[in-house]
Amino acid sequence: MKKILVFILFMSLFFLVSCGSGETDTEELSDIPDWDYSNVVSDDEEVDSAAPIDNSNTDPVDPASDTGDTEPSADPGISDEIPDNENPLPQGCGNGSVEYGERCDSNAPIECSKLQSNMSGATKCLPDCTAFDMSTCDKKIWGVLNVRFLTNFIMDNAKIGDSSYFAKGTLPYAAFNGLYGDTTQFFPQSGDSSVSFAVTDNYAGILGANRRQLFVKQNPANGYPRHELEFAPGSIKSGAEYRINAVSLFDLVDNLLKLVRYRLIDKQNGTECIMGIGYSGSVFITSVYPENVDLYEGGSVEIVANNVDFYYPTEVPGLDEETTVPEEVLKYPLCSK
């Protein structure tokens, strides 16, 4: 009997212990928060389609780092977003129609002779539609000269009206020689008794500054055609090289440009006029005294120049009918040929 009672008691304790452990598990599960399973990926869905679950805390994507096949929507290209403000193209350049601000607008070649009567070859419009590329044309030399000049007395231009003073610096020989014209004309002509000389004069700039500048000239006995070299204003140094230039204006701030102009001057109907303008070549200062000073009267200079090209002013290579030589460079009205 005792054994039965012990067995019943043992089973009762076992049942109570089992029920008590179940309540403990329920309390522990109540501490776990309720989960939101609305974004759970099912077995049938692609992983990429559900990847952006929450974009609120993600960094924005840099289009430059995107290596995918899709094109970044925020990168339209540099040419559209950053125009060249320094050298903007005329509006409509490239559409094949010449519009305001354009000189031409075509890739078709054109004969250089149609733009410049003394040039041959072919040219095309520049990419910016502002002009034709005249560098592709071949020039026909209209004139060429050589210069050998030496004087021991540079005159003041303000005094050369005095014959006795003028005689102090003149040289009874031809420093300039060469040829020019559509029909070849040589200079100096035989027995023309050319007189060559150097003078210095004032040059007034647009800002009111004054500098001295050197001229080397040659007159035949009858006065014309006269030749002259006009050096950039300022001091001159032995060994310097001055470049012949047909279109650039002198820089009065300094003569670092080292430019010199050549002019062939004639006289028609009682008026001096310009027949030729220097285009290319160099004039070398063999020696000058005093050096690096603004020259007045006195002093000496020796120069040499070989194969200097010059042209009738309206036929200078690189010009077309809408480009002219500046008036300051021409200095005289245009002669008729």
288 and 307 belong to one structural domain: yes
**Is 81 part of any domain?**
no
pLDDT for res 80: 40
323 and 181 belong to one structural domain: yes
* Residues paired with residue 60 on neighbouring β-strands, in sequence order: none
**Is 61 part of any domain?**
no
104 and 229 belong to one structural domain: no
109 and 187 belong to one structural domain: no
How do residues 36-56 score in pLDDT, each as one tens digit? 434 444 444 444 444 444 444
pTM metric for this prediction: 0.61
127 and 210 belong to one structural domain: no
300 and 179 belong to one structural domain: yes
148 and 218 belong to one structural domain: yes
Contact 335, 268 (CB under 8 A): yes
pLDDT for res 191: 74
pLDDT for res 253: 59
207 and 231 belong to one structural domain: yes
Helix segments in the chain, DSSP class H: 2-30, 78-81, 163-169, 327-330
Query: Among 50-54, 130-134, 331-335, where is mean pLDDT lowest?
Result: 50-54
Sheet strands (E) in the chain: 110-111, 119-120, 122-123, 138-139, 143-151, 155-156, 176-180, 185-187, 195-204, 210-219, 226-231, 241-244, 259-268, 271-280, 282-289, 300-311
Give the dihedral sign, CA 190/193/199/203. Answer: negative
**Is 69 part of any domain?**
no
pLDDT at position 193 over 50: yes
123 and 164 belong to one structural domain: no
Query: Among 11-25, 129-143, 173-187, 308-322, where is mean pLDDT lowest?
Result: 11-25
Question: Domain residues for 116?
Answer: 91-140
CA–CA separation, 131 vs 113, rounded Å? 15
**Is 65 part of any domain?**
no
In degrees and rounded to multiples of 5, residue 113 shows phi and psi of -60, -20
Computed on alpha carbons and rounded to an integer, the radius of gyration of the chain in Å comes to 45
Last residue in a domain, options 81, 105, 140: 140
How do residues 69-123 score in pLDDT, each as one tens digit? 444 444 443 334 344 445 567 778 989 888 887 888 988 998 887 876 667 788 9
pLDDT higher for 26 or 240?
Answer: 240
Q: Summarize the confidence of residues 135-146 as an average pLDDT.
A: 83
How do residues 206-219 score in pLDDT, each as one tens digit? 666 788 999 999 99
